[in-house]
């Protein structure tokens, strides 16, 4: 199998028992979890990926809700740059606030802001947005958005913190 190409976004839940491991060796902790960007289970997995949808979801959430919903860049950087910026950390209170915002933001609130041409013009990664009548892009975004909302809800219910990193 070939190497994955492109910038992907990874989330890792950090339980109270994991904090020491995270601070001792952040890179080993974050990359110690196998991430299936396409089929990860947000109910069971400690780490998920949202593939290359991260920039579009950030863009659409910002249009729909504003900075309160920043689940991509909304944490505190806590380590050196790992290639696409430093990883960020959201403590359990921030995770709960973000989960609350996501729960009040159904995907339909994002779709009203979907404009393929505007996203192309603003160079929203990965830069392949189109309105082709088949809604592939919206189905792709919806699947990852729903996975992300579920993951935040599971983390918030458990009182977990979270790490976000672009890889």
Domain of 78: which CATH number?
3.40.1760.10
Determine the number of helices (DSSP H) and then strands (DSSP E) in the chain: 7, 5
Considering its fold, how many domains does the chain have in total? 1
Q: What is the mean pLDDT of residues 79-106?
A: 96
Supply the range of the domain harboring residue 111.
Answer: 52-166
Tell me, yes or no, whether 107 lies in a domain.
yes
Tell me, yes or no, whether 17 lies in a domain.
no
- pLDDT band for 38, please (50, 70, 90 cuts): low
Q: What is the mean pLDDT of residues 12-33?
A: 95
Q: What is the pTM of this model?
A: 0.94
- Asked whether residue 4 carries a pLDDT value surpassing 80, the answer given is no
Write the pLDDT tens digit of every residue in 43-78: 999 999 999 999 999 999 999 999 988 999 889 999
Tell me, yes or no, whether 139 lies in a domain.
yes
Tell me, yes or no, whether 97 lies in a domain.
yes
Tell me, yes or no, whether 19 lies in a domain.
no
Query: Which residues have CB under 8 Å from 65's CB, separation 6+?
Result: 101, 105, 109
Tell me, yes or no, whether 8 lies in a domain.
no
Tell me, yes or no, whether 26 lies in a domain.
no
Q: What is the mean pLDDT of residues 137-146?
A: 96
Q: Which tokens sit at 78?
A: 């806590």
Tell me, yes or no, whether 22 lies in a domain.
no
Q: What was the pLDDT predicted at 24?
A: 96
SS3 117: helix
Specify burial of residue 162 (Cβ count, 10 A radius: 0-12, 13-18, 19+). Answer: buried
């Amino acid at each position: 199998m070939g190497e994955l190409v492109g910038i992907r976004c990874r989330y890792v839940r950090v339980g109270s028992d994991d904090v020491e491991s995270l601070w001792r060796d952040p890179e080993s902790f974050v990359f110690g979890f196998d991430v299936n960007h396409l089929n990860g289970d947000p109910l069971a997995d400690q780490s998920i990926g949202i593939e290359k949808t991260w920039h579009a979801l950030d863009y659409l959430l910002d249009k729909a809700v504003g900075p309160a919903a920043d689940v991509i860049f909304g944490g505190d950087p806590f380590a050196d740059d790992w290639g696409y910026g430093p990883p960020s950390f959201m403590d359990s209170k921030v995770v709960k606030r973000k989960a609350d915002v996501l729960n009040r933001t159904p995907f339909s609130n994002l779709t009203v802001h979907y404009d393929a041409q505007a996203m192309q013009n603003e160079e929203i990664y990965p830069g392949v947005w189109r309105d082709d009548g088949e809604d592939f892009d919206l189905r792709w975004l919806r699947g990852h958005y729903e996975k992300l909302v579920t993951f935040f809800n599971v983390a918030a219910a458990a009182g977990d913190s979270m790490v976000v990193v672009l890889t």
